[in-house]
Chains A and B, each alone.
Chain A
Amino acid sequence: MSNLIYKEFRLVIHPLFFVTALFGVLILIPNWVYFVALMYFLFIAIPNIFMNVKAQNDTGFSVLLPVSKSDVVKARIWSMSLLEIVQILVAAIFVAISVKINPKGNFLIDANLAYLGCSLVMYGLFNIIFFPMFYKTTYKIGIPLIVALTAVFLFTGAIEVLVVTVPAVAHVLDGVSSAALVHQIPVLAAGIALFAGANWLAYRLSARNFEKVDL
């Protein structure tokens, strides 16, 4: 498995895509839709990486190696989740700065731990839709991307609407005071758990689909 992950970072994922994490700086904008800052990874890195996978015939290369098809999928999902975690970690730094310089918070969801938790769920949701659809063919990218991004927009849109319109939701998810951490740490923990669970399921479904593909 470590060899396959090495392969992902050596051949498939250009180091440039780590730089998308710097879009986290957008979290410092006062009064903004903070989910967008973490979506740049999905807008830029994911399509480019998978176009590269297709253009470089990565699948053709991978199946020549003495590895199982399911491990090929597992390594891909591991490496993409790793990149997503990098986005979240960099975003966390900007969240910490934002709390200091923006003590009044945001008109939509604030940049806080609950926001990071929800962002993890957003990535998990993307992964669980995109990967299994992609691994039905290993070359069709458009439809999986559109469907997964639509789900991401609906999910984050719903969170933003609920934060603004439902006080109970705002009570749990919103706020930048240290008192608000009581509600937000469980949200972050749930986000981590859901992200992990979604990736595991994404792997199982993708591996099952990839197994059926004749190469």
Chain B
Amino acid sequence: MEILSVQHLSKHYPKFDLKDVSFSLEKGYIMGFIGSNGAGKTTTLKSMLGLVHKDGGTISMLGMDFDQHELEIKQHIGFMFGGVDYYAKTKIRTISDVVRRFYREWDDSIYQKYMKRFALDENKRPSELSSGMRIKYSLVLALSHRAKLLLLDEPTSGLDPVARDNLLELFQEFIEDGERSILFSTHITSDLEKCADFITYIENGRIIESRTKDDLLQGYRLVKGTSEQLAPLQARLIASKSHAYGFSGLIKTADLESADHLEIEEPSLEDIMIYYAKKEGLNE
């Protein structure tokens, strides 16, 4: 069953457009939302949650239309935009005490469990926490009301490798029962290689790909060849980089021909991102 569906979402800004963004996520999976800085990840998430006014499109979560059931949906989802950046000098205990009142299904035992797991001290104030700890606290707040869907904007940026790994494990645990899902945006593609089932890739306000990670990786090939081979191939390549010994480029697997005689490799998500960004002229 679809837990999240975004259809034809659009938002116009004077210098940026979110165009026809569509993707969906099933129960029990993790979807990574990738794209370079300024590609539209945060704008998409904010438009989905009504924090930014969308110009068009429909959003549904937990089987309900977001515009019509906003408050009900917000009771059952968790979302965060970076770390806690509010009430810097107020004790965490006080902030939590305010937040817990708003959720019907707030569970103090879950709250205490994650506070302990993340070694967060309720007597501290956000200003005393490192950026990683602020993100963790923000996550604890998103997790403590039995959310069925988590929408997380850059939850791993600013965390050290160990903390990131812990967090990714936690994500896996979260979806284990098959009833809950996570959509998280990131530009750290190695996170996704570890735990994402689906990838939605946005560049310059448009969705380039939205499918399973394996399909996505199988859908592209990294090719290398000599400078002479580049010219006839150019039209089929998504983008290429020339260097002293020849070129390397990204191509859709379907566009490969055995007659090409190229060195072929499986790309990483990062390769796909870099070449698409190059195509969009963002790397120049």
Query: A-side interface residues toward B, CB under 8 Å?
Result: 3, 6-7, 10-11, 56-58, 60-61, 63-68, 212, 214-215
B interface list, Cβ under 8 A from A: 46, 51-53, 70-71, 74-75, 79-81, 85-90, 94-95, 97-99, 101-103, 141
- A57 CA to B138 CA in the complex, in Å? 14
Interchain Cβ contacts under 8 Å between A and B, 22 examples: A3-B102, A6-B101, A7-B101, A10-B97, A11-B87, A11-B94, A11-B98, A56-B86, A56-B88, A56-B89, A58-B86, A60-B81, A60-B85, A64-B79, A65-B99, A66-B71, A66-B74, A66-B102, A67-B74, A68-B71, A212-B53, A214-B52
Name the distance in Å between A71's Cβ and chain B's nearest Cβ: 9
Given known A-B contacts A56-B87, A57-B85, A215-B46, A65 and B102 have beta carbons under 8 A apart: yes
> When the two chains form their complex, are residues B86 and A61 in contact, meaning their CB atoms are under 8 A apart?
yes
Q: Which residues of A contact B71 (CB under 8 A)?
A: 66-68
Distance between Cα atoms of A3 and B100 in the complex (Å) = 10
A63 touches B102 (CB 8 A): no
Complex contacts, A214 vs chain B, CB 8 Å: 46, 51-53
A214–B53 CA distance with the chains assembled, in angstroms: 6
Q: Are B97 and A67 in contact (CB under 8 A)?
A: no
CB-based nearest A residue for B46:
A215
Cβ distance B59 to chain A, nearest Cβ, rounded Å? 16
| Chain A residues whose C-beta falls within 8 Å of the C-beta of B85 in the assembled complex | 57, 60
Tell which of A58, A61, A63 touches B51, judged by Cβ atoms closer than 8 Å.
A63
How many whole Å from B86's CB to the nearest CB in chain A? 4
Check if B101 sits within 8 Å of A57, measured CB to CB: no
A64 to B49, CA, bound (A): 9
Q: A7-B98, A66-B74 known; 9 other A-B pairs, CB under 8 Å?
A: A56-B88, A65-B74, A65-B102, A66-B102, A66-B103, A67-B71, A214-B51, A215-B46, A215-B52
B contact residues around A63 at 8 Å (CB): 51
C-alpha gap A67/B81 in the complex (Å): 17
* Contact residues in A for B98 (Cβ distance below 8 Å): 3, 6-7, 10-11
- Are the CB atoms of B87 and A64 closer together than 8 Å? no
The answer to whether A67 and B102 have CB atoms under 8 Å apart is: yes
B103 (CB) vs chain A CBs: closest residue: A66
Determine if A11 and B46 form an interchain contact, defined as CB atoms under 8 angstroms apart: no
Pick the contact of A57 from B74, B86, B102 — CB < 8 Å? B86
User: In the complex, what distance in Å separates the CA atom of A64 from the CA atom of B85?
Assistant: 12
In the complex, are the beta carbons of B75 and A66 less than 8 A apart? yes
Determine whether the beta carbon of B51 is less than 8 Å from that of A68.
no
**B53, A11: Cβ atoms under 8 Å?**
no
Report chain B residues within 8 Å CB of A61. 86-87
User: Chain A nearest CB: distance from B168 CB in Å?
Assistant: 23
Contacts of A10 in B (CB 8 A): 94, 97-98
